[in-house]
Amino acid sequence: MNVKLNDNVLVITGKYAGKQGKVIATSPKNGKVTVEGVNIQHKAQKARRGNEVSKIVEKEGAIDVSNVMVVCPACDKAVRVKSGMSEGKRVRVCPKCGAVLDRAYAGKKGKDVKKEEQPKKRTRKRAAKAEAEAQAAQEEKTEE
């Protein structure tokens, strides 16, 4: 199943054909996906307490994964997903423009990113207060 959670997909067949939406839930075992705003089902909900009101709830139903195609965020076209390699990992790739569809690997340029980011130094609260007071005292001296 080439469709993942939070993918933007295009419905290609059925009542909602041509409609785009975000994938809310996937069920790989059953081969189904739930798309936002597609296959709306109505269900009557009965009031269970005296102060509640009965109502009709609208909910998205699952549709077959074969009825949707992933939309490439770079070229904005519905595509059949192709697999490729990025940083030694297998990722989903758009065959038309070559963009990486997996968000975890889309923005990374390599190992250089990890070297630039360094963790913050941990300081104790007392030490931080003492430094702040020392800086404030130093600023007062420079103003005079």
Instruction: Provide the domain count of the chain.
Output: 1
**d(Cα 139, Cα 131) in Å, to the nearest integer?**
12
Question: Rounded to the nearest 5°, which phi and psi values hold at 59?
Answer: -145, 145
38 falls within a domain: yes
**pLDDT tens sequence across 53-63:** 999 999 999 99
**pLDDT tens sequence across 6-56:** 899 999 999 999 999 999 999 999 999 999 999 999 999 999 999 999 999
51 falls within a domain: yes
Give one DSSP letter per residue of the chain, joined into a string: ----TT-EEEE-SSTTTT-EEEEEEEETTTTEEEETTSSEEEEEE---STT---EEEEEEPEEEGGGEEEEPTTT--EE--EEEEETTEEEEE-TTT--B--HHHHS--STHHHHH--PPPP--HHHHHHHHHHHHHHHHHHH-
User: Taking the model in full, what pTM does it have?
Assistant: 0.65
23 falls within a domain: yes
24 falls within a domain: yes
Out of 3-7, 57-61, 107-111, 127-131, the most confident range is: 57-61
132 falls within a domain: no
**pLDDT tens sequence across 64-75:** 999 999 999 899
**Secondary structure element (H or E) that encloses residue 141, with its range:** helix 125-143
7 falls within a domain: yes
Neighbours of 117 (CB within 10 A): 6
Give Cβ neighbours of residue 73 (< 8 Å, ≥ 6 apart). 8, 99, 101
Residue 32 sits in which domain range?
Answer: 1-71
**d(Cα 100, Cα 92) in Å, to the nearest integer?**
6
pLDDT band at 100 (very low <50, low <70, confident <90, very high): confident
140 falls within a domain: no
pLDDT band at 99 (very low <50, low <70, confident <90, very high): confident
Task: Provide the CATH number for the domain around residue 48.
Answer: 2.30.30.30
123 falls within a domain: no
